Structure 1
Amino acid sequence: MLYFSPLELILKAKQEKVALGSFNVFNNEMFHAVTIAALKKKSPVIIATGEVDIQYFPPELAVSLMKIYSKKFDIPFLLHLDHCTQVELAEKCLRCGYSSIMFDGSQLPYEENVEKTRSVVKIAQWFGVPVEGELGVILGTREFFESTTQKDDQLKITDPEAARDFVLRTGIHTLAPSIGSAHGVYVKKPKIHFDILKRISKATKIPLVLHGGSGIPVEDVHRCIEEGVAKVNVGTDLRRTLVDTIVHEGVNPYVEARTVMEKSRDAIVTVVENWLDILKSSIILQ
């Protein structure tokens, strides 16, 4: 088993102008698929479980699987809690053995976001775990594209000076800014605010995280990495692949459920491999 701290890997990714892939999963097949792809590509990966997924995929189960795969293979697998909105849940996952935490207070008033994010950072320090914070509002794609005015759009985008203040006051290790990406299926090409991203990177001087990676053109992902992004979150690509495979295979009334899940896993492996190539994250272990 190779050991690297999450922050060490992210800082190296930033230095090498590549990015770690963070893949959202909520069942064993998805979890297994990410590890298979990581082994094939000899790349570290972050396996993320969102707050909304925990009812299906409890933290204790995720940690148990992580321990099994980490002992078996010489690839760093990091377990990350994504979009956590409850301080108590963040502490629970830390006690279970998560190696990375994202606290999302972006929907809160600014001062409350600062206060709660800072409290998670203090708790995480006891476990030696880095914390990702969010500033600005990274919505779902449906909500995002319902904006009808330029003013609405700008309200979602992170202000670089506010980002500087947020990082200084909370002590977070990575920041997820709102720069034009969104969660879910894009109905049109997202407009990434590269100028804002560059200013945020310069103002904060910490690794940045791109949320809503699924559907962003490869050239835009690469430009984000050039401007300071060191971690890219991918969830929708995996979820859609799972659903599409089940729907396609399920047409056959004689197909075994186990066979459908195996094909779903294999299809997700291909998706993750493609993303690891895009992010060039295998460089981190060289």
Structure 2
Amino acid sequence: MPLAAARALITAAAVEHRAIAAFDAITLEHVQAVVEGAESVGSPVIIQVSESVVQYYDGRLLPLARAAAETARAAAVPVALHLDRVRRTALLAQAAHCGFSSIMYDAARLPYAENVAVTRDAAQWAHEQNLWIEADAAAVPAGAATRPEPGGGPAAARAFVAATGVDALTVPLGARPDRRLLARLRTALDVPLVLRDTAGATAGELGLAAAEGISKVTVGTGLDIAMTGAVRARLAVDDITDPRVYLREGRRAMTATVAGFIRALDSRLPAGA
């Protein structure tokens, strides 16, 4: 089927009080596992390629992006491609030509005023290219908040969204988000919220976050842990040199992990689907 648009998947999830799982892909095995895991539970999914992964491939985005796009087009479920944690303008400019329907522009390292300015420029460019854009609230100042909060609290997060024009906001709430803060953010903002740093979160905690307003959950290390563990286990018992053997084990482990995360984020799916 055609590549899905991240905008459509995320907004539909927001309306239905569930979350779309977005998985970081490093290798072709990651890409295959994400699609196979999503197919196994009959759910849409997002494949993410981060700037750090592009750097791993010597700055070349197209080879992995093209492989991901072709795998996604052959999938039995809707799959969208997302370019994540972009800092370099040169990489940003490639997104619209490589099958991506959304980007996450990361200027959180910059002083607040500069963060707003460059993120606003990135959002304007993205919208001209018909791309959905996320940004990070981490650098939003706390202002009059009485205690430190991720993104400086709901009022500051709302001001950041208004000033930049982004379509979704990454909220650094950690794997176990503060339910009261999440509720306040959801009330204050009219854009979908994206949760990162899910390592260590239980299925129940992720499901609760989805039910209470998170519309997209990014999963990174969960797949890497699954793959590395499976490869180590196979090499510990077999003296093999054919990478197809142990990489197949790694892919199977990642596929099961993908299915587990998706089930946790979508209450419509049976626990054992």
With normalisation by structure 1, the TM-score equals: 0.84
Structure 2 counterpart of 1:96: 98
Structure 1 counterpart of 2:162: 168
**Pairing partner for 1:224 from 209, 213, 217:** 209
Structure 2 counterpart of 1:178: 172
Structure 1 counterpart of 2:148: 154
Structure 2 counterpart of 1:46: 46
State how far apart, in whole Å, the 2-side matches of 1:37 and 1:192 are: 26
| Cα displacement string for residues 143-185 of structure 1 (whole angstroms, at most 9, x for unaligned residues) | xxxxxxxxxx936554211100111111111100122x1xxxx
Q: What is the identity, as a one-letter code, of the residue corresponding to 1:227?
A: E
Structure 2 counterpart of 1:107: 109
| Cα displacement string for residues 257-277 of structure 1 (whole angstroms, at most 9, x for unaligned residues) | 210001100110000011111
- 1:201 equivalenced with 2:195 (yes/no): no
State how far apart, in whole Å, the 1-side matches of 2:35 and 2:176 are: 32
State how far apart, in whole Å, the 2-side matches of 1:275 and 1:127 are: 31
Cα deviation for residue 225 of structure 1 reads 1.7
Distance 1:121 1:222, change over 3 A: same
Structure 1 counterpart of 2:177: 192
- Contact between 2:28 and 2:68, CA under 8 Å: does it hold in 1? no
- 1:234 equivalenced with 2:236 (yes/no): no
State how far apart, in whole Å, the 2-side matches of 1:19 and 1:156 are: 20
| Cα displacement string for residues 49-87 of structure 1 (whole angstroms, at most 9, x for unaligned residues) | 111111335421233123322332342211111111223
- Contact between 1:136 and 1:159, CA under 8 Å: does it hold in 2? no
Structure 2 counterpart of 1:253: 239
- Contact between 1:43 and 1:281, CA under 8 Å: does it hold in 2? no
State how far apart, in whole Å, the 1-side matches of 2:105 and 2:161 are: 13
Q: What is the identity, as a one-letter code, of the residue corresponding to 1:175?
A: L
Structure 2 counterpart of 1:128: 130
State how far apart, in whole Å, the 2-side matches of 1:52 and 1:2 are: 27
- Contact between 2:194 and 2:216, CA under 8 Å: does it hold in 1? yes
Cα deviation for residue 97 of structure 1 reads 2.7
Secondary structure at 1:12's aligned position in 2?
A: helix
Structure 2 counterpart of 1:146: none
**Pairing partner for 1:262 from 239, 248, 254:** 248
| Cα displacement string for residues 2-59 of structure 1 (whole angstroms, at most 9, x for unaligned residues) | 5642112111101111110000111001111111111111111110111111133542
- Contact between 1:44 and 1:281, CA under 8 Å: does it hold in 2? no
Q: What is the identity, as a one-letter code, of the residue corresponding to 1:236?
A: T
- Contact between 1:21 and 1:279, CA under 8 Å: does it hold in 2? yes
Structure 1 counterpart of 2:7: 7
- Contact between 2:14 and 2:215, CA under 8 Å: does it hold in 1? yes
State how far apart, in whole Å, the 2-side matches of 1:165 and 1:171 are: 10
Distance 1:281 1:175, change over 3 A: farther
State how far apart, in whole Å, the 2-side matches of 1:30 and 1:81 are: 15
- Contact between 2:20 and 2:45, CA under 8 Å: does it hold in 1? yes
With normalisation by structure 2, the TM-score equals: 0.88
- Contact between 1:43 and 1:282, CA under 8 Å: does it hold in 2? no
Secondary structure at 2:22's aligned position in 1?
A: strand
Gaps (5+ residues) in structure 2?
Answer: 140-146
Using the TM superposition, name which of 224-233 and 250-259 deviates more: 250-259
Structure 2 counterpart of 1:272: 258
Secondary structure at 1:213's aligned position in 2?
A: coil
Secondary structure at 2:148's aligned position in 1?
A: helix
State how far apart, in whole Å, the 1-side matches of 2:166 and 2:235 are: 45
Cα deviation for residue 232 of structure 1 reads 0.4
Secondary structure at 1:98's aligned position in 2?
A: coil
Gaps (5+ residues) in structure 1?
Answer: 138-152, 182-189
State how far apart, in whole Å, the 1-side matches of 2:201 and 2:53 are: 23
Distance 1:27 1:281, change over 3 A: farther
